[in-house]
Amino acid sequence: MNLSNIEEAYNIGCAIAQSDYIEKTAFLGGIGSAGKFLLGMGNLGSKGSSLARISPHHVGMPLGFGLLGAATAEEGKGVEGFTKGVVGGLVFNAAMPLGGAIGKRILAPGFSGKGSSKIMSGLGYSDDAVKQMSASQALNKPLHDSALRPFKKSIDRSLGAGTASKGQIKQLGKTFETNTANLNLTDDLLAQQEKIQQLFNRKYLSPQQQAELKNMYSQFSSALYKGGYNTGTAGQRAALKGIRFSKGLGTMAGGMGLGIAVSHPVESMFDSHPASVFDASGGH
């Protein structure tokens, strides 16, 4: 975790919160224009730029929470609202992936790794179909697997921003090669596999090529899963879809629930209180 990025974002947000000439409506408009970044789902700047490198989700989300807190704070308490929001965003960002990991294990127990293969086989899917769907899951895991590393930028985000390192791309290439070997692929999937492998074999990928690789990789993984999924009967597809829905629901509910439960008490620690028990009118 690079604290300098968060410190820089905090200083910028504090300056905005202290600016008396900025109306709250302008505040909210600014949040809307940079919504994806402030919700932790995007990057600032062009692909491969320095700005893209210093704007990961663990900076965007706290800054977004902070600006929202400043925009909705009472007059004269913009900085306090911003500070509470930043702290709450940091805690929420750290707790949400962990809560999501717990939630999906509660609502869809065993549906990961080898366990998911057993479940799909138990539903009656053929060996080839199970291999394809399991390979798709294995391809997706390194893209999004950050449940216990909330301050680590995922390879999915890095590729989209054009900032992935050679080491990250090389490791993802090994995952791709390992999990797509010995699969019974259609001609169309074979063609996609070859194009993706060609990109992985290059010594250098430009920021635009990294984004292209991300899209091709995700499309291939999706097509691979659908190819196996669609071989099942209506009953088999409905059962598998229900399990996947439960997993998604558990991830979302667990992540939001734990994030909110942990961040609110932490934010309340930063509430300021009057120095006297008497208010301006002389009452209590």
Q: What is the pLDDT of residues 42-92, one digit of tens each?
A: 666 667 666 666 655 566 677 777 777 777 777 777 778 888 888 887 888
What is the distance between the alpha carbons of residues 164 and 45, in angstroms, rounded to a whole number? 15
- 113 Cβ neighbours under 8 A, 6+ residues apart: 137
pLDDT at 191: 95
pTM: 0.71
Average pLDDT over residues 7-31: 50
pLDDT of residue 161: 80
Q: Output the pLDDT for position 250.
A: 92
Share the mean pLDDT of the chain. 78
Rounded distance, CA 83 to CA 67, Å? Answer: 9
Q: Is residue 199 scored above 50 in pLDDT?
A: yes
What is the reported pLDDT for 3?
52
Binned at pLDDT 50, 70 and 90, residue 221 comes out as very high
pLDDT band at 230 (very low <50, low <70, confident <90, very high): very high
Which residue would you say has higher pLDDT here, 19 or 264? 264
pLDDT in tens, 128-154: 999 999 999 999 988 876 544 544 557
- DSSP per position, 116-144: HHHHHHHTT--HHHHHHHHHHHHHHHHHH
pLDDT recorded at residue 118: 93
Task: State the Cα–Cα distance between residues 156 and 158, nearest whole angstrom.
Answer: 6
| CA–CA distance, 197 with 133 (Å, rounded to integer) | 20
Best-predicted range by mean pLDDT (94-98, 101-105, 117-121, 149-153): 117-121
Nearest Cα neighbor of 117 from 103, 106, 128 is 128
Closest to 81 in 3D by CA, of 272, 260, 273, 275: 272
Contact 78, 26 (CB under 8 A): no
Phi-psi region of 110 (alpha: psi -120 to 50; beta: other; left: phi over 0): left
Give the per-residue pLDDT at 15. Answer: 59
Per-residue model confidence (pLDDT) at position 26? 43
The pLDDT tens digits of the residues spanning 259-283 come to: 888 888 887 777 765 555 445 455 5
Indicate the SS3 state at residue 47: coil
In 74-206, alpha helices (H): 78-107, 114-122, 127-144, 155-161, 166-180, 187-201
Q: Which residue bears the tokens 């667990």? A: 254
Written in H, E and C, the secondary structure of 28-42 is HHHHHHCHHHHCCCC
User: What is the pLDDT, as a whole number, of residue 20?
Assistant: 43
Q: Any idea what the Cα angle at residue 26 is, between residues 21 and 29, rounded to 5°?
A: 165
Phi-psi region of 279 (alpha: psi -120 to 50; beta: other; left: phi over 0): beta
The whole-angstrom separation of Cα 236 and Cα 152 is: 37
Q: Is the pLDDT of residue 22 over 60?
A: no
Of 51-55, 116-120, 173-177, the one with minimum mean pLDDT is 51-55
Q: Which two tokens stand for residue 140?
A: 């997706």
